[in-house]
Structure 1
Amino acid sequence: MSDPANALLEARKKNYDLPESPRSVGWTHIQRATVADRENPFVLETGKTLWPVEVEYETYGRLNRTRDNAIMVFHALSGDAHVAGWDADAEKMGRTWRLARPGWWDDFIGPGKPLDTGRYFIICANVLGSCYGTTGPTSMCPSAGEPYRMSFPAVSVGDWVRLHGRLLDHLGIDTLLAAIGGSLGGQQALEFSLSMPERVRGAIILAASPWLSAQGLAFNAVARHVIMTDPHWNNGNYSSDKGPEHGLSAARMIGHITYLSRMSMENKFGRRRGRTPSNDRSEGWIVNENGNGNSNGAFEEDPFFEVESYLRYQGSRFVQRFDANSYLYILRAMDHYDASTWGHGDLIEAARRVKCNNLIISFTSDWLYPPGSCRDWATALSRLGRSVTYVNIPSSYGHDAFLLEVEQEGNLVRSFIHQLEKID
Structure 2
Amino acid sequence: MSDRHTLPISEVKHLTLDKPLPLDCGEQLDGVRIAYECWGELNAEKSNAILICHALTGDQFAASANLVTGRPPWWSRMIGPGLPIDTDRFHVIATNVLGGCMGTTGPASDAPDGKPWGTRFPVITISDMVRAQIAFIDTLGIDTLFSVIGGSMGGMQVLDWAVQVPERVFTAIPIATAARHSAQNIAFYEVGRQSIMADPDWCDGQYLAQDKRPSRGLAIARMAAHITYVSEEALKRKFDRGLQDREQTSFSFDADFQVESYLRYQGHSFVDRFDANSYLYVTRAMDYYDLAARHDGRLADAFVDTPVRFCLFSFSSDWHYPPSTTREITRALAAAGAEVSYLEIETDNGHDAFFLEEPLFEDALAGFLKVNAGKRGI
Q: TM-score range by the shorter chain?
A: over 0.9
Deviations 1:98-126 (A, max 9, x none): 2xx3x100110000000000000000000
1:356 aligns with 2:308: yes
Task: Give the C-alpha shift of residue 353 in structure 1.
Answer: 5.5
* Mapping for residues 374-385 of structure 1, pairs under 5 Å: 374-385=326-337
For 2:314, what is the secondary structure of its paired residue? Answer: strand
Q: Distance in 1 between matches of 2:302 and 2:337?
A: 14
Q: Greater shift after overlay, 117-126 or 348-357?
A: 348-357
Contact 2:304–2:337 (CA<8 Å) still a contact in 1?
no
1:260 aligns with 2:230: yes
Q: Distance in 2 between matches of 1:301 and 1:244?
A: 21
Q: Distance in 1 between matches of 2:70 and 2:374?
A: 41
1:130 corresponds, among 97, 100, 122, to: 100
Name the residue aligned to 1:111.
81
1:390 aligns with 2:342: yes
Task: Give the C-alpha shift of residue 30 in structure 1.
Answer: 2.0
Report the CA distance shift for 1:352/1:405 in structure 2 as closer, same or farther (over 3 A): farther
For 1:141, what is the secondary structure of its paired residue? Answer: coil
* Mapping for residues 10-409 of structure 1, pairs under 5 Å: 16-17=3-4, 23-36=5-18, 40-87=19-66, 90=67, 95-98=68-71, 101=72, 103-142=73-112, 144-239=113-208, 241-279=211-249, 282=250, 285=251, 300-352=252-304, 354-409=306-361
Task: Give the C-alpha shift of residue 346 in structure 1.
Answer: 1.1
Deviations 1:313-360 (A, max 9, x none): 010000111110011000011111111133122111122153200000
Q: Distance in 2 between matches of 1:42 and 1:353?
A: 28
Matched pairs, number: 375
Contact 2:2–2:357 (CA<8 Å) still a contact in 1?
no
Report the CA distance shift for 1:159/1:165 in structure 2 as closer, same or farther (over 3 A): same
Q: Distance in 2 between matches of 1:410 and 1:371?
A: 18
Q: Give the alignment's TM-score, normalised by structure 1.
A: 0.86
Name the residue aligned to 2:372.
420
Q: Give the alignment's TM-score, normalised by structure 2.
A: 0.96
For 2:143, what is the secondary structure of its paired residue? Answer: coil
Gaps of at least 5 residues in structure 1 are: 1-13, 18-22, 286-299
Q: Once the two structures are aligned, what percentage of the paired residues are identical?
A: 42
Q: Distance in 2 between matches of 1:16 and 1:420?
A: 26
Task: Give the C-alpha shift of residue 154 in structure 1.
Answer: 0.6
Task: Give the C-alpha shift of residue 170 in structure 1.
Answer: 1.0
Q: Greater shift after overlay, 349-358 or 42-51?
A: 349-358
Contact 1:46–1:154 (CA<8 Å) still a contact in 2?
yes
* Structure label with greater radius of gyration: 1
Q: Distance in 2 between matches of 1:15 and 1:400?
A: 13
Report the CA distance shift for 1:277/1:97 in structure 2 as closer, same or farther (over 3 A): farther
**1:265 counterpart letter in structure 2:** L
For 1:358, what is the secondary structure of its paired residue? Answer: strand
Deviations 1:32-86 (A, max 9, x none): 11114xxx21110111011110000000000000000000000000100000123
Structure 1: 4+ residue segments shifted above 4 A? none
Q: Distance in 2 between matches of 1:269 and 1:403?
A: 20
Q: Distance in 2 between matches of 1:124 and 1:41?
A: 21
Q: Distance in 2 between matches of 1:96 and 1:328?
A: 21
| CA root-mean-square deviation | 1.5
Q: Greater shift after overlay, 352-361 or 164-173?
A: 352-361
